[in-house]
């Protein structure tokens, strides 16, 4: 099978971790008889330095005209002082919007081999953790109108959180359909005791819950969700929520596993096109040192095979290879811990090890 991948390496550790994911994809192609054609496009600070914008119109078109997009990370202090409209992160919002990537899937799974790295290891309450965060990605406060103005002699700023019934319904359906393939349980996160947008969110979710009567459904306020993720995270199967809440909660959930470097994500459209990336940032403080953890990116590549390319066998093979490498005691620095028998390896060595297991 021939598939075209637009590769957005980005900034900081982005190029390093993406290189390891591509190495793994090349091994999959060799083993299973596929061809993965790669089209490299600059994004973020790398694009600003070269073209003056976080992504060019041509680059955006190349993202649209492929089978899938693989992203590293964008941003860094070098570009913090430029015009906010040209910040590296603006490219991500543009790609998500232009490609219609409305559904962000962020799995959070406790790898038994990494239990000692979890901040909750002493309690054991995160043992067996395996949840899926379904985040609406192209609506809400990040895409609403932003205004700064002068009023009564002082500066005032406002950000609009806007949602329509159809936007809520389509992300809700993703959550319920995902739950049907997992533990058949959905928690819908909102702030319906305060926000009108959340009241509408809850109304639409209740309507969907009646349609998906085979799935256990619960409403939960966002502040309670933040507490329950620490108190009893294993109660969750699928969590669905709006853009900003999902951004915050998914980062919190990722740390239950001990390292944000392990967490992949998929951003999906209504068709097969998706963008796949680790959920961590560009980590400029360790860029170029070959010490970053590439496993989140490698596992994102596995999600690409599963969701965009309909290659579940190949995706399973990558996930099994990662599990085997961890079982053999190999760790990058962020997940090394202090356990006996741990063998600390570099970013590129970790990629090589996963390939060797394949």
Residues carrying an active site annotation: 142, 191, 223, 247, 251
Cβ atoms of residues 12 and 75 within 8 Å? yes
CB 17 within 8 A of CB 294: yes
Q: Which residues pair with 84 in a beta bridge?
A: none
> By C-alpha distance, which of 134, 90, 87 is closest to 267?
134
* Token reading at 259: 């390292």
- Is residue 72 within 8 A of residue 17, CB to CB? The reply is yes
Angle of CA points 165, 170, 173, to nearest 5°: 120
Backbone angles phi, psi at 133, to 5 degrees: -90, 120
Tokens of 67: 């089978």
Q: Name the percent of the chain in helix, strand, coil, to the closest 5.
A: 45, 20, 30
Q: How far apart are CA 295 and CA 278, in angstroms?
A: 8
DSSP strand pairing (103-109 vs 130-136) = antiparallel
| Closest among 111, 115, 52, 61 to 85, alpha carbons compared | 52
Q: What is the DSSP string of 230-249?
A: HH-GGG-SEEEE-HHHHHHH
Q: Is 204 left (phi over 0), alpha (psi -120 to 50) or beta?
A: alpha
Q: What's the Rg (C-alpha) of the chain?
A: 20
Q: Which H, E and C letters describe 174-234, residue by residue?
A: HHHHHHHCCCCEEEEEECCCCCHHHHHHHHHHHHHHHHCCCCEEEEEEHHHHHHHHHHCHH
Work out the angle at residue 226's Cα, subtended by the Cα atoms of residues 252 and 307, and round it to the nearest 5 degrees. Answer: 55
Kindly report the length of the chain. Answer: 358
């Amino acid at each position: 099978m021939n598939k075209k991948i637009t590769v957005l390496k980005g900034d900081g550790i982005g190029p390093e971790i993406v290189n390891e994911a591509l190495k793994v994809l090349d091994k999959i192609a060799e083993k299973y008889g596929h061809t993965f054609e790669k089209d490299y496009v600059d994004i973020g600070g790398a694009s600003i330095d070269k073209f003056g914008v976080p992504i060019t119109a041509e680059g955006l078109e190349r993202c649209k005209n492929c089978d899938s997009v693989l992203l590293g990370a964008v941003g860094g202090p070098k570009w913090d002082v430029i015009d906010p409209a040209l910040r590296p992160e603006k490219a991500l919002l543009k790609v998500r919007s232009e490609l219609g990537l409305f559904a962000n899937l962020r799995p959070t799974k406790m790898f038994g081999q990494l239990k000692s790295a979890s901040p909750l290891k002493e309690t054991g309450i995160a043992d067996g953790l395996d949840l899926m965060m379904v985040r609406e990605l192209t609506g809400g406060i990040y895409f609403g109108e932003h205004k700064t103005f002068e009023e009564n002699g002082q500066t005032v700023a406002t950000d609009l959180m806007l949602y329509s019934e159809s936007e809520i319904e389509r992300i809700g359906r993703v959550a319920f359909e995902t739950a049907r393939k997992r533990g058949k349980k959905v928690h819908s996160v909102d702030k319906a005791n305060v926000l009108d947008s959340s009241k509408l969110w809850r109304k639409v979710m209740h309507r969907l819950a009646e349609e998906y009567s085979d799935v256990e459904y619960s409403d939960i306020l966002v502040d309670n969700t933040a507490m329950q993720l620490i108190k009893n995270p294993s109660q969750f199967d699928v969590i669905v929520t709006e853009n900003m809440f999902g951004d915050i909660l998914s980062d919190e959930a990722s740390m239950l596993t001990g390292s944000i470097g392990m967490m992949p994500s998929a951003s999906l459209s209504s068709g097969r096109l998706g963008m796949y990336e680790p959920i961590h940032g560009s980590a400029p403080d360790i860029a170029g040192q070959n010490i970053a953890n590439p496993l989140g990116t490698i596992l994102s590549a596995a999600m690409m095979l599963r969701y965009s390319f309909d290659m579940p066998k190949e995706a399973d093979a990558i996930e099994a290879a990662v599990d085997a490498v961890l079982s053999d005691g190999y760790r990058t620095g962020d997940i090394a811990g202090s356990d006996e028998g741990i063998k600390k390896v570099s970013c590129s060595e970790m990629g090589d090890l996963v390939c060797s297991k394949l």
